[in-house]
Structure 1
Amino acid sequence: MSDLPPALPVTFRPGHTRAVLLTAGVAIFVVIAAVAVLLEQLTPGERISFVFTGALLFGVLALLARPKVVADDSGITVVNITSKRHLEWAEVIQVNLRPGDPWVFLNLSDGTSLPTLGIQPGIARQRAIADARTLRALVDARAVHDPEQARGTDPGSVSG
């Protein structure tokens, strides 16, 4: 593995999870809409409510498939289910993915931690570990902060 971080911009997202969620969403919508069309005893209002319910379920699954992390020259943009936050490189102190964590956490210069749902080990654990290491290399290469914190002195953090 190369010690150099990848060229920017880089987008990290849970591809397998996203594919499963969107496929399930489309399938659910199609089945519910087909039922609405095929059941002859339904009134037009009931048919509309079936289609609306299918669209609502698809929308929820599409929201769950939304998370991603985009690293570019200006910093890191974290897109979670219902929120989006842009961070300057210097704001990110450490990238953590500990055993058992549901996703990566970014330790920030203000003392808080930001969950980063765009890198999650759910279905593709090795991919998430590689993505976390890549993000850490980018943070280490671009951020200006205490080198001891940048190296991840916390033994539970992902090492590069």
Structure 2
Amino acid sequence: MSDLPALPVTFRPGRTRAVLLSAAVAIFVTITVIALLLEKLGPGERLSFVFTAALLAGVLALLARVKVVADETGVTVVNIAGKRRLDWAEIIQVNLRPGDPWVFLNLSDGTSLPALGIQPGIAKQQAIADARALRTLVEAHSSTRDLP
């Protein structure tokens, strides 16, 4: 298995992350500058502009934090509002079907977990390669866990 990625490995949508973080900075700076340039605004109103800009930038930063980290003991999935640690044995299948917005992990408890760290939005080929790499890791670790 020479094509097996070296662990630990982190999968994240790099281009999407760059776009989101750039937009967060641009929005924050633009709204803050507008708040400072509008002479008719009082201090409270200016503060509300800056607070709104920070809130919008924070939401974009949350969207940019998604990732999937695989290490020797399992996988950590960091999505927008949460983080979940999975042992290799819990992951049955890695799915990225045409039209899927991101990878789905089929789990041993019968549920499916979205893994937003691998998404074909802007970089489809990279997402496909990442999904294949994660699938290869899952298969490699499932074959070793079945051995006595």
What TM-score, normalized to structure 1?
A: 0.87
After TM superposition, the structure 1 = structure 2 runs for residues 34-45 of structure 1, keeping only pairs within 5 Å, are 34-45=33-44
Give 1:142 shift. Answer: 1.0
Q: Tell me the residue number matched to 1:30.
A: 29
**In the TM superposition, what whole-angstrom CA distance separates every residue of 1:83-141 from its partner, at most 9, and x where no partner exists?**
10000001001100000000000011111111100000000000000000000111111
Residue type of the partner of 1:85?
R
Partner of 1:156: none
CA distance in 2, matches of 1:144, 1:83: 29
Alignment match, 2:134 = 135
Quote the Cα distance in structure 1 between the aligned partners of 2:91 and 2:123. 25
**Counterpart residue number, 1:111:** 110
1:151 is matched with: none
Q: 1:130 to 1:66 in 2, by over 3 A?
A: same
Dislocated runs of 4+, deviation >2 Å = 143-147
Deviation at 1:146, TM superposition (A): 9.8
Number of equivalent positions: 146
**SS of 2:98's equivalent?**
coil
Q: Report SS of the residue matched to 1:122.
A: coil
Determine if the alignment matches structure 1 residue 56 to structure 2 residue 55. Answer: yes
1:14 match: 13
Q: Tell me, which stretches of 5 or more residues in structure 1 are unaligned?
A: 148-160
Shift of 1:145: 8.6
Tell me which amino acid in the other structure corresponds to 2:28.
F
User: 1:93, 1:145 within 8 Å by CA — same for their partners in 2?
Assistant: no
Q: Distance in 1 between matches of 2:132 and 2:37?
A: 51
How far apart, CA to CA, are the structure 2 residues paired with 1:146 and 1:54? 49
Using the TM superposition, give the Cα deviation of residue 3 of structure 1 relative to its aligned residue in structure 2, in angstroms.
4.5
How far does residue 6 in structure 1 lie from its aligned partner after superposition? 1.1
Equivalent residue runs for 1:59-98 within 5 Å = 59-98=58-97
Structure 2 unaligned segments of length 5 or more: list them. none
Q: Percent identity?
A: 74
Deviations 1:16-57 (A, max 9, x none): 001001100100000000011111111000010000000000
Work out the CA distance in 1 between the residues paired with 2:73 and 2:84: 13
Structure 1 position 143, deviation (Å):
2.2
Give distance in 1, aligned partners of 2:124 and 2:26: 26
User: Residue 144 of structure 1: CA displacement?
Assistant: 4.9
